[in-house]
Structure formats: structure tokens, C-alpha cells
Amino acid sequence: MNDAAGVPAYRVWALPGVPEVRPGDDLVKLIAAAAATDGLPQLADGDVLLVTSKIVSKAEGRVVEATDRERAIDRETVRVVARRGTLRIVQNRQGLVMAAAGVDASNTPSGTVLLLPEDPDASARALRAGLRTELGVDVGVVISDTFGRPWRNGLTDVAIGAAGVRVLDDLRGGTDAYGNPLSATVVATADELAAAGDLVKGKAAGLPVAVVRGLPHVVEESGDGAGARAMVRGAEDDMFRLGTSEAVREAVTGRRTVRAFGDAPVDPGAVRRAVAAALTAPAPHHTTPWRFVLLESPEARTRLLDAMRDAWIADLRGDGKSEESIARRVRRGDVLRDAPYLAVPCMVTDGAHHYPDARRSAAEREMFVVAHGAGIQNFLVALAGERLGSAWISSTMFCRDVVREVLGLPEDWEPMGAVAVGHPATAPAPRPARAADDFIAVR
């Protein structure tokens, strides 16, 4: 709708008269009664009804006894995103990422907690259909709940369920007022409606329902629409899926050896960031024993791998292995050949202490080897954090002279295996569970 001057405008107001909702109440009849004056409906086609999720949850019997709210949060949690003290940001069973899984101990009797609707989109569809039957009007419905937001103080209402509302307004492919192409603009219309309703409902005013009029273009012309579930960002597009400590833990526990890679190219910048992470590992005597040779061209990788294969075959023949056995063993190294990117970590022992006896000299070298292993682990974990797969293969350690010659490395650079890097061709199989206690000795 437009105002008197022809400027686009809309109206939003709270709907008075909705009583305290209890489990089992017919929410459609309660809202319909509040939306009628002298028996005439005060809702019109094209209106959007904004309903606080708490009354939906109460009507659906989502009030549960819980002397321990944390346990209730555990039951509703699918994945912990971030944790600080007792505060948890989690993904709940509805797919929403929010504080405490949406479990609310306010506006509910003592000793109970309020859970979110089991399926908020289904709840919105039921409300919409019921109001169409009860009042004969075709309205959109948004069910809202209160969210905090990363990088912003304060709370706001967002849509967790919707029916008959265009939840996202995709402007990509259009142009702005200056003719510039819009390539990334998708407006969260349902969230904007939820926030507008919250301005008039308030948090403690006892007004759980609001109405928006004058925006008929946000109401679907037919059907219930995609629902608010369409607004939940998928894991593959989520750049901020985990909090800091959880991201580190996920990268460590989620790191797997990948032996089949896709054709997608590897971002060299991501590998360099992983190298920077490797350089933070502990090392003896304040040294930096890590060097990384990055083979970014197919020619460099082929030249190295061909030379290594020839050296390996010569070694195996010298061991008396059959040609069939040699071919089988060589095939195991194909993971390096199939990867679109290769890194060769090398160890240098500059700064090592020199001792007159073999025992202390061996221990000194082991210190550097351990430090180098820590650096490689950092490298692999950082690659996982960049969503790259990797496989550390020890083969360069068996032909260091060949590797140094092909790559033109200094004599004191010791190749410590090779790391195949790329995008996994398939999702890795689940890792078998390992009980930490099986690997611990306490004295």
C-alpha cells in the first residue's frame, strides 16, 4: 500500500485479546476470536500474521518438566557450535543455530522449560489453513523466536517457521539504482517481518501476535511456499560453522587421510596458510626446522613422482620382489600421482647441539624429528580447516637423494614424506571410535 503522498508504506500492529495459552488449546480459534470485532474478521487477504513461537509451543504441549535445563538443552542439541562457560550456541533438531537450542525457562511455570515447536513450518501451515477455514481469509503466517547474532550486540526476532510467505527475496540478476548488477543480494524477508512484529509485540507486554498489512507482494500467490527452513544455511556454504575451540577440535578429529581426490583445483593461498600454521609448532632450541616444497605444476609433480617410482622399483627388485608384487606396491603410491597438489615437507637441523657420544646425538636428532612431526600435523589439520583433504605418505624418506636432486634442494634439507592435497572425491567413511582411556596410563 502507499501513503497519501503515494510513498510505499505498511502498517504493523499487535493483536490484543489473545489469552494465556495452555497445552492443548486450539490456537486457531484463540487467534480468530482475537482478530474479530463484533463477529467481523479484522484480518484481510494479503495480511501477514506474526506469531511468537512460545504460544505455538504451549498449544502443542512442548512444555516439559525439567529441573535441569542443561539436560533439556542436551536432548535438543544436534551439534555444539560454540561454548563459553555455561553458554552454548548449538544447532538444534530443527536445524537452527541458536543459544541453548531454543530451550526457554521464561514464561513457563517453575520447574518446566519450553521447547521450540517440533516442526515450525508445519505449525505455520496449520495456522494458515485453520484461519482460512475459520475466517475465510488468506494470510501469510510467520512464527518467530528471539535470536542473538554474531558480531552484533542485542537480540531480534527471526522467522523459524513460515507458510504462505516469500521467506527470501532473490534479487540476483537485477540491477541497482545505478545500473550495477546485483550478484549476491538475497533479502531475508521473513526475518524482516518477524523483527517488525517484535517492535509492537514487545517481550513482556502479553501481546504474542502481530499483523502486518500493506505488503501483499510478500505473500505467496499460491501454495504455502518453501517455509523458513529454506533460510537455514547449508553446511557447505557456512563459513562460520564452528566457534574457535570447536573449529580446532573439529579440524583435528575430522582430519582424515584422503586417498581419492576430485578434479577441483587447490587454492595455493590455502596451502600457504596451512604452512603458516605448521610454523607455530614447538621446536628445540628456538629453531625453525620446517621447510615446505610446494609442487604446484603438473610437470614438477610428474618429474618427481617418476623419479621416485624408478628408485622404488630398483629397491624392490634388489629385495628380490616379484614383478607382480612390485606393481602392486607401486600402485599404492598412486594417491600422490592422482592428487592435484603436492607438498614435500623437509627437515633442517640448523641450531642442533653437537655431542661427542652417539646416545646424546641420537636423542638430539629425535627432538628435531618430533618437532617436525608436530609441524606436519599442524599442516594437515590446517588443510582440514580449509576444507581440503590430504594424505601424508612417507615415500620420499626412502629416496632422499633422488628427491633432493630432482627438486634442486640443499644437501641439509631432509625430505620427510610427501603430502597429497586436494578436494576429497567422496566423503570419508566414519572413523571408528577410540576410547581415550585405552591409550592412557596414569601414575
Which segments are annotated as binding site for GTP? 18-21, 53, 58, 107
User: Average pLDDT, stretch 200-213?
Assistant: 86
Point out the annotated binding site for coenzyme F420-(gamma-Glu)n.
Answer: 315
What lies within 8 Å, CB to CB, of 108 at 6+ separation is 58, 63, 114
**Mean pLDDT on 23-48:** 87
CA triplet 84, 252, 390: central angle to 5 degrees? 145
- What homologous superfamily is domain 255-439 in, according to CATH? NADH Oxidase (3.40.109.10)
- The predicted structure's pLDDT at residue 238: 81
Among 7-16, 235-244, 277-286, which stretch is predicted with the lowest mean pLDDT?
235-244
Summarize pLDDT for 292-309 with one digit per residue, the tens: 999 999 999 999 999 998
Q: Which is more confident, 335 or 212?
A: 212
Per-residue pLDDT tens over the stretch 353-362: 999 999 999 9
Is-above-0.75 flag for pTM? no
Phi, psi of 177 (to 5 degrees): -65, -20
**Which candidate, 21, 409, 343, 39, places its Cα nearest to that of 208?**
21
Q: What residue numbers does the annotated binding site cover?
A: 18-21, 53, 58, 104, 107, 145-146, 283, 315, 394, 431
pLDDT of residue 39: 62
Identify which has the larger pLDDT, 275 or 174: 275
pLDDT at 314 over 70: yes
Secondary structure class of 1 (helix, strand, coil): coil
> Which pLDDT band holds residue 348 (cuts at 50, 70, 90)?
very high
Whole-number pLDDT of residue 402? 94
Question: What are the binding residues for FMN?
Answer: 283, 394, 431
- Average predicted confidence (pLDDT) for the chain: 90
Q: Closest by alpha carbon to 193, among 216, 225, 174, 177?
A: 216
Predicted confidence band at 424 (pLDDT cuts at 50, 70, 90)? very high
- Within 10 A of 230 (CB to CB), how many other CB atoms are there? 12
pLDDT given for residue 410 in this prediction: 96
Over residues 15-28, the mean pLDDT reads 93
Yes or no: domain 11-231 corresponds to CATH 3.90.260.10: no
Mean pLDDT across the stretch 135-155? 92
What span, in angstroms and rounded, lies between the C-alpha atoms of 16 and 349?
77
Is-same-fold flag (11-231; 255-439)?
no
Instruction: Name the DSSP class of 414.
Output: E
Q: How much of the chain, in percent, has pLDDT values that exceed 90?
A: 63
pLDDT band at 183 (very low <50, low <70, confident <90, very high): confident
For residue 41, pLDDT beyond 80 = no
Write down the residue that cell numbers 523459524 correspond to: 160
Q: Where along the chain do its domains lie? A: 11-231, 255-439
Q: In this structure, are residues 230 and 167 in contact, taking their beta carbons and an 8 Å threshold?
A: yes
**Is the model more confident about 376 or about 330?**
376
**Whole-number pLDDT of residue 269:** 94
Give the Cα separation of 177 and 179 in Å (integer). 6
Q: What are phi and psi of 297, to 5 degrees?
A: -105, 145
Give the annotated binding-site residues for a divalent metal cation.
Answer: 104, 145-146
